[in-house]
Amino acid sequence: MKNLLFILMLAFPFAGYAQNMTQEEFLRNFYTRYVSNQDVQYLENHLTKGCIRYIRKASALTNGDEIVRAQDQIDTRMLQVSSVGKGWYLVSYNGNQGQEFEYSNAIPVKVIRVHDKWLIDSIIPADDPDINERKIEKVPPQVKAKFQGGDRKYDEYIHKNRRPVRWAEEHGITTVPVVKFIITKNGEVRNVEVMNEVAPSIASEACRLIWSMPRWKPARRDGKCVDSIVYRAVPVL
């Protein structure tokens, strides 16, 4: 019996700790281990079934890994987790810092508590498989989507939340990225894409800022809230 208990302690060294983790600690621990342990069992222990089905659907469409959004091994020492409210967190990491091809990824993730255990309930992919952009383009809204508080508040948000892009600043680059994204009928951001040619580090920071925005006032058509396409300049420098 003692030997069995000892084996169980070795097999599950983090069980007790996991129950006492904060959401931020849980996400940092999950992503750190996921990059070196991408097996089905690991996902089933940390993601809800609905999240697994959805992320597999999205990954199949993009032919990529929508959990980390990276083709290469990421440096988890650069991992950052920040709360954006109501159980949602932004998992972000930087790569090639100080170099021409410096980049960052910002991944919206929702965490819930199930039976004294944290689980990832939602991971927003780069391209939402449930949104039909062609359909949205064909039927434009009568009232456009609006950032809460209007353009002035949008500018304040960008100025307050932008992070330094070292390589671009050191080389005097001032190009302003123009970003296309979807504001859903619920006011949420989806399908973020930089439309003009800018340095990868600038594009990545612009996407991070858009992904981390609070809910918008959605567009309306015939008195109902609808999905809509938005184009915005994002002055990250």
What confidence category does residue 127 fall into, taking pLDDT thresholds of 50, 70 and 90?
confident
Q: Over 60: is that where the pLDDT of 10 sits? A: no
Could you give the count of Cα atoms lying within 13 Å of 79 in the half-sphere of its Cβ?
22
> Tens of pLDDT along 66-125?
888 765 566 677 788 888 778 888 888 766 666 656 666 778 899 999 998 999 999 988
Q: Over 50: is that where the pLDDT of 16 sits? A: no
pLDDT of residue 73: 60
Could you give the count of Cα atoms lying within 13 Å of 21 in the half-sphere of its Cβ?
21
List, in order of start, the domains of the chain with CATH numbers: 1-125 (3.10.450.50), 131-237 (3.30.2420)
pLDDT of residue 156: 97
Separation between Cα atoms, residue 112 and residue 116, nearest integer Å: 10
Q: What is the mean pLDDT of the chain?
A: 84
Whether the model clears a pTM of 0.75, i.e. scores above it, the answer is no
pLDDT of residue 102: 60
> Tens of pLDDT along 42-70?
889 999 999 999 999 988 887 888 888 76
Say if CB 229 and CB 137 are below 8 A apart: yes
